[in-house]
Amino acid sequence: MNDVLGNIRVVLVGTLYHGNVGSACRAMANMGVKELVLAGPRLCDDAGEAARMAVHATDILTARREVASLAEAVSDCAFVVGTTARGGLYRQHVKTPREVAPELLRLASGGKVALVFGREDKGLSNDEIGLCTHLVRIPVHPDYTSLNLSQAVLLCCYELYSAMGVYEPPVEKSPPALAARKHKLADMWRAMLLQIGFMKADKADHMMQGVQRIFSRGVYSDDDVSILMGVARQADWAARHGGGVRPKGSTRSGGGHAAH
């Protein structure tokens, strides 16, 4: 993974604002991309804003290179990917970042790939587009097509990282609740709701259909069932003993894994 991402270079052309440079560094760090080159920057504001916006990605900011032109920035790159929001004769072969990401990762496994972003006010010139081997356009709502520079960097780098398939979402530690456990939970709540006077016996079947519907939509894991069983036990105990908290050492309390 690191070898491929190490061959991705973000190039910002003619950048105007230090804050966008810093924010771009942060976006790159989020997605594991480390190399930044500024091509012909025209920075015109407070230099300290870059570090403030980079937050914990100041290593990328500090290691950035500055060169005079896009041609110099990509001279050692085998593939150059330009980003463009504008149309025109030379910009018709664009793809979305999601479409092109697998190919770019494949190309990056064998050489440097530059991901190029244009000026905040007018993007890349036609001459600069001519240096690109690929063009991408981020899909946006037609009523407002302008993206902040760092947002564009984040979206493109996200698609590359996502296409690597290395992210593993967290999984529920508790196993799925078995049907028998869910039936027992419903029985406990039925008895508890009757005990505390929430419903009457002649309405219990009808009311429990609604409760069961709630459980079916939201009670997924065995831990979920244990917690709700504990609530039923404690409410039943409180109703039988005139309120209060069940003393320590009594039959199982209502929390977590203990209530089975």
Q: Do 213 and 105 sit in the same domain of this protein? A: no
Q: Do 196 and 240 sit in the same domain of this protein? A: yes
In a domain, 171, yes or no: no
In a domain, 31, yes or no: yes
Beta bridge partners of 81: 115, 134
User: How many domains in the chain?
Assistant: 2
Q: Do 153 and 220 sit in the same domain of this protein? A: no
Please give the structure tokens belonging to residue 253.
Answer: 């309390």
In a domain, 35, yes or no: yes
Q: What does 67-99 look like in DSSP terms, one character per residue?
A: ES-HHHHTTT-SEEEEE----SGGGTT-B-HHH
- Which residues have CB under 8 Å from 217's CB, separation 6+? none
| Tally of CB atoms within 10 A around 80 | 23
Q: Do 190 and 91 sit in the same domain of this protein? A: no
Q: Do 133 and 193 sit in the same domain of this protein? A: no
In a domain, 33, yes or no: yes
Tell me, yes or no, if the pTM score tops 0.75.
no
CATH of the domain at 114: 3.40.1280.10
Please give the structure tokens belonging to residue 257.
Answer: 């894994």
In a domain, 173, yes or no: no
Q: Do 157 and 189 sit in the same domain of this protein? A: no
Q: Give the span between the Cα atoms of 214 and 223, in whole angstroms.
A: 16
* Residue 60 burial (C-beta neighbours within 10 Å; 0-12, 13-18, 19+): buried
What pLDDT sits at residue 92?
A: 62
Domain that holds residue 189: 179-258
Q: What is the helix (H) or strand (E) element at residue 136, kind and residue range?
A: strand 134-136
Q: Residue-wise pLDDT tens for the chain (260 aa)?
A: 558 999 999 999 999 999 999 999 999 999 999 999 999 999 999 999 999 999 999 999 999 999 999 999 999 999 999 998 876 555 567 899 999 999 999 999 999 999 999 999 999 998 999 999 999 999 999 899 889 999 999 999 999 999 998 887 777 788 888 889 888 988 988 888 888 777 789 988 988 887 787 777 776 678 777 877 877 887 888 788 876 555 555 544 444 443 44
In a domain, 137, yes or no: yes
Q: Do 51 and 136 sit in the same domain of this protein? A: yes
What pLDDT sits at residue 192?
A: 84
Q: Do 52 and 96 sit in the same domain of this protein? A: yes
In a domain, 230, yes or no: yes
Q: Give the span between the Cα atoms of 14 and 69, in whole angstroms.
A: 9
Q: Give the span between the Cα atoms of 242 and 250, in whole angstroms.
A: 16
Q: Do 9 and 73 sit in the same domain of this protein? A: yes
Q: Do 15 and 96 sit in the same domain of this protein? A: yes
Q: Do 148 and 205 sit in the same domain of this protein? A: no
Q: Give the span between the Cα atoms of 83 and 73, in whole angstroms.
A: 15
